Amino acid sequence: MSKSALGRGLGALLSGGGTKPAPAEPQPAAPAVAPGTTVQRVPVSRIQPSPLQPRKDFTPESLAELAESIRQQGIVQPLIVRVVAGNFELIAGERRWRAAQLAGLTEVPVVERTATDLEVLELALIENLQRENLNPIEEAVGYTQLGTQFSLTQDEIATRVGRSRASVANALRLLKLPAVAQTAVRDDRLSVGHAKVLLGIADPRSQLTAFDRVLADRLSVRQTEELAARLVAPQTAPKPSSTAPIPAGRDMFVVDVENRLRERFAAKVGLRYRAGRGSVEIRFANDDELNRVLDLMGVTID
Name the residues annotated as catalytic: 94
CB burial of residue 1 (10 Å; 0-12, 13-18, 19+): middle
Q: Could you give the CA distance from residue 139 to residue 172 in angstroms, rounded to a whole number?
A: 8
Q: Which residues contact 217 (CB under 8 A, 6 or more apart)?
A: 223
Residue 283 exposure: Cα atoms within 13 Å on the Cβ side: 8
The DSSP letter of residue 40 is E
Which helix (H) or strand (E) is 278 found in, with range?
A: strand 277-282
CA distances from 270 to 243, 256, 273, 280 (A): 20, 11, 10, 6
Interstrand relation of 47-48 and 79-84 (parallel, antiparallel or unpaired): unpaired
Q: Could you give the CA distance from residue 196 to residue 221 in angstroms, rounded to a whole number?
A: 9
